[in-house]
Amino acid sequence: MSTPGALDSLVFDNRFTAELPADPSTDPGTRQVHNAAYSRVVPKQTTAPRLIAHSPEVAELLGLSPEAVASPEFAAVMSGNAVLDGMDPYAMAYGGHQFGNWAGQLGDGRAMALGEVVTPSGQRQTLQLKGAGPTPYSRMADGLAVLRSSVREFLCSEAMFHLGVPTTRALSLCLTGDKVLRDMFYDGRAGYEPGAVVCRVAPSFIRFGNFELFASREDHDLLRQLADHTIGTHFAHLDLNSPTVYSDWFGEVVERTAEMIIHWQRVGFVHGVMNTDNLSVHGITIDYGPYGWLEDYDPGWTPNTTDASHRRYRFGNQPAIAQWNLMQLANALFPLVGDADPLQEGLERFVQVFNTGWQQMMNNKLGLGPVVGEEDHDLVVDLLQLLPRVETDMTIFFRNMAKLSLDPQVDDNTLLAPLTDAYYQDDSLEGDVRTDTIAWLRRYQARATAGDLAGQDRVAAMNAINPKYVLRNYLAQLAIDEAENEGTFDLITELLDVLRHPYTDQPGKERFAEKRPEWARSRPGCSQLSCSS
């Protein structure tokens, strides 16, 4: 009998591998895999696995005790050195459009699902290791991950959850004791870096690209099998016997995706690599590669060096890219639906859900309450055109809007005072920009005073949606520097703790809410990143 909370108490119900066809080959070499949804794999053994961080909340979700997490067996399993009874490790087959171009078969090149756990509360969660070695889908790569990218993935997964953004979770971060060769910026200056493995957790890791691959090969039987599995397992409230089940399901994916993007725009998150293989059918954020947070409000910014010239995945383009990606999913599902009209209706639903939800979200950020006609739309649009005229920290600006006086009698300097911390240059708010900013603030005062929220209710509502703490790019880099250069992980732990309460003032933690320092403006890891892991 297993002890409650122990590793061997995890209940695996590997429905994905049980219901869908497997790659008949066990050849570990890279290849094209046909007529299969996945390939069974074996994690790569590591030299000296060591747990350096974990999420107690995710461990509790899975039913794991603190003692289980602290055990050597936990580090062994979560680094790929051991496989528990009941696990059925596999790598999924999928394709995708990368930067707008069809890339063919991609698949889990450096990720391996250990299996699906049924939690004590009855939820289904897939445990997946990122960086645990090669798979048939690794192409020219080694399937491994380095510490810097793993720290970023671990911290961001949990930070996004606590921000209220739909996301995959991160259970653990382990060092492997091995070195991994990487060329961070693809400039011929490769070097060895510490290897690491993150254990990611989600209901599933099924992406738009899973369906695209089978549709592109006209493997409609497997396409239908995958759709039926996905709906039956994860969207069980839909009736698989309904003639409209596939279009109904697509409509739900559309709505979830729109809601996720609204959250991204709310907190200033930029995914950086919104390929169709990086969008989840669950409407959750997956694959934290070259992501970033807006420091200054710049809708044209992308953190991805690979996208630096075209800026396809820039902050302001994320809603349009999400809809474009949904169109590719609709194309993949067409053989099952047989009629373009309901799929087109789903795509139009994206516009409706996003536009309505985005406007209400912006009203909430500004403490305006329910949307009132075109007046509110114009007020928001004018603000977002005003902010980029001077370098303005998005997070601080919206957080400090709650401190703004609504008294129309206050002088201009007093009116502006709560916002000065948000500007990167002390003397930037001069001339026409100052005049236009004050004019907008006076319009805002009048609208906010006429709204349903007033006084402390307004402040509380705004502080509940505008975070004080986000995983600023330079903060993640400082944690990486400490881990790589000093071999200590205290800053990772401290950041994880601060980011658990992003909407709450935390005395003594003010340094984590400060603007990007000047030294981080163009430093690698603080400004832009590559897809290199």
Average pLDDT estimate for 456-479 = 95
Question: Are 167 and 294 in a shared domain?
Answer: no
pLDDT of 529? 77
Give CA–CA dist 272/292, Å, rounded. Answer: 7
> 526 lies in a domain?
no
Question: Are 201 and 95 in a shared domain?
Answer: yes
pLDDT of 373? 86
Residues with Cβ within 8 Å of residue 212, at least 6 apart in sequence: 94, 95, 96, 97, 276, 328, 329, 331, 332
Residues with Cβ within 8 Å of residue 198, at least 6 apart in sequence: 129, 130, 131, 145, 150, 153, 154, 157, 170, 172, 173, 174
Q: DSSP 3-state assignment of 175?
A: strand
> 280 lies in a domain?
yes
Choosing from 338, 363, 388, the residue where a domain stops is: 363
β-bridge mates for residue 199, sequence order: 129, 172
Average pLDDT estimate for 223-251 = 98
> 480 lies in a domain?
no
Question: Are 215 and 343 in a shared domain?
Answer: yes
Q: Please write the tens of the pLDDT for every residue from 99-114.
A: 999 999 999 999 999 9
Question: Are 301 and 387 in a shared domain?
Answer: no
Question: Are 55 and 120 in a shared domain?
Answer: yes
Q: Please write the tens of the pLDDT for every residue from 3-16.
A: 889 999 999 999 99
Q: Report DSSP state, residue 421.
A: G
pLDDT of 1? 62
Range of the domain at 408: 371-451
The total of structural domains in the chain comes to 3
> 472 lies in a domain?
no
Question: Are 386 and 347 in a shared domain?
Answer: no
Question: Are 240 and 342 in a shared domain?
Answer: yes
Q: Please write the tens of the pLDDT for every residue from 261-281.
A: 999 999 999 999 999 999 999
Q: Catalytic residue among 277, 296, 376, 393, which?
A: 277
Q: 506 φ, ψ to 5°?
A: -120, 100
Q: Please write the tens of the pLDDT for every residue from 349-367.
A: 999 999 999 999 999 999 9
Give CA–CA dist 362/364, Å, rounded. Answer: 5
Q: Determine what percent of the chain is predicted with pLDDT higher than 90.
A: 91
Question: Are 126 and 272 in a shared domain?
Answer: no
Average pLDDT estimate for 58-65 = 98
Q: Please write the tens of the pLDDT for every residue from 388-402.
A: 999 999 999 999 999
**Is the pTM above the cut of 0.75?**
yes
Question: Are 396 and 375 in a shared domain?
Answer: yes
- The answer on pLDDT for 490 being more than 60 is yes
Choosing from 451, 482, 499, the residue where a domain stops is: 451
Dihedral sign from CA coordinates of 351, 353, 355, 356: positive
Question: Are 159 and 269 in a shared domain?
Answer: no
Where do we find the tokens 């953004």?
165
> 487 lies in a domain?
no
Catalytic residue check, 452: no
Q: Please write the tens of the pLDDT for every residue from 151-206.
A: 999 999 999 999 999 999 999 999 999 999 988 766 778 899 999 999 999 999 99
Question: Are 252 and 356 in a shared domain?
Answer: yes
> 509 lies in a domain?
no
Give CA–CA dist 279/287, Å, rounded. Answer: 8
Average per-residue pLDDT in the chain? 95
pLDDT of 189? 81
Choosing from 363, 388, 404, the residue where a domain stops is: 363
Question: Are 245 and 322 in a shared domain?
Answer: yes
Q: Determine what percent of the chain is predicted with pLDDT higher than 70.
A: 98
> 518 lies in a domain?
no
Average pLDDT estimate for 244-263 = 98
> 159 lies in a domain?
yes
Q: Please write the tens of the pLDDT for every residue from 18-33.
A: 999 999 998 889 999 9
